[in-house]
Amino acid sequence: MEKVTNDAGQTIIRLKHPTGSICEVFLFGATVTKFVTASGRDVIWCSSKAKLDGTKAIRGGIPLVFPQFGAPIKEMPQHGFARNSIWTLEGEPAVLEGTEDVRCVFGLDNKVATHEAWPHPYRLEFSVTLGAEALTTTLTVHNVGEEPFKFMDLQHTYLNIGDISSTSVNGLQGVQYFDKASDEPEKACMEQRQAASVAEFTDRVYFPTESKPITDPVVVVSPLGNISVSKKATCTSPSETVDLPVDTVLWNPWAEKAAAMA
């Protein structure tokens, strides 16, 4: 592991795998901004205009959305406050037993980041595990208070796919979704395509049902190579651990919005 500082004074944790894969994580937002596999595939995209000085959320990488997705609570920043907060590195990175994979854990709690519109005691842990050809990221939300609270979280991953016109997503056929870019964003639709492609501004939230779960992994087929995206969620209480449904977002800003992004 290396701990480096960029020109703006922001701390970056750099992980290296014995096979040559690398990963970089900013303490600002605990945002993963780079993952290059041992075979040389640069998986994560970041905008060339991204602010890397801590003044705003990093445009690209894997921003952590918490405790709200979008802005249902208008008083709170869009996508919450976790992606705009300084996280801490929890101890030293560790090599997982029986492997060469290396893991580091980042933490954030309500003593560092909170909002009057969502004043709950919590603790977040974000673990990043670097393998030769895979990156595993896990966001854990702990309720450290006495009362239950509602929240949303999302790993808002930007994938480096090269040419969007030659890219498609497999594993969504037959799955229901909300088209947030349409005139009826709360109307449930069904994906008919075996390979979902993008030809305009796209913002869809695919959600699993009992009759039609989302295939795991979803596979992004692009000119730069395929990317398999696997996901899982659980809820743990003192008495049990249960699996939770996980939505999948397909989003692309398209040309006009992309040109204005920073």
Residues contributing to the annotated binding site for substrate:
59, 78, 83
Binding-site residue ranges: 59, 78, 83
CB 58, CB 28: distance < 8 Å = yes
Long-range own/partner contacts, residues 67-74 (CB < 8 A, 24 or more apart): 67/118, 67/120, 67/122, 67/149, 67/151, 67/152, 67/153, 68/118, 68/151, 68/152, 69/152, 69/153, 69/154, 73/117, 73/118
Question: Using an 8 Å Cβ cutoff, are 61 and 32 in contact?
Answer: yes
The tokens for 164 are 């969007």
Say if residues 149 and 237 touch (Cβ distance below 8 Å): no
Question: If DSSP states are collapsed to H, E and C, what string results for 46-65?
Answer: ECCCCCCCCCCCCCECECEE
The strand pairing partners of 244, in sequence order, are 233
Tokens matching residue 172: 């969504």
Q: Which structure tokens are listed for 253?
A: 């800003």
Residue 223 has a CB neighbour count (10 Å cut-off) of: 11
Query: 205 to each of 24, 64, 179, 180, 249, how far by Cα in Å?
Result: 28, 17, 7, 8, 5
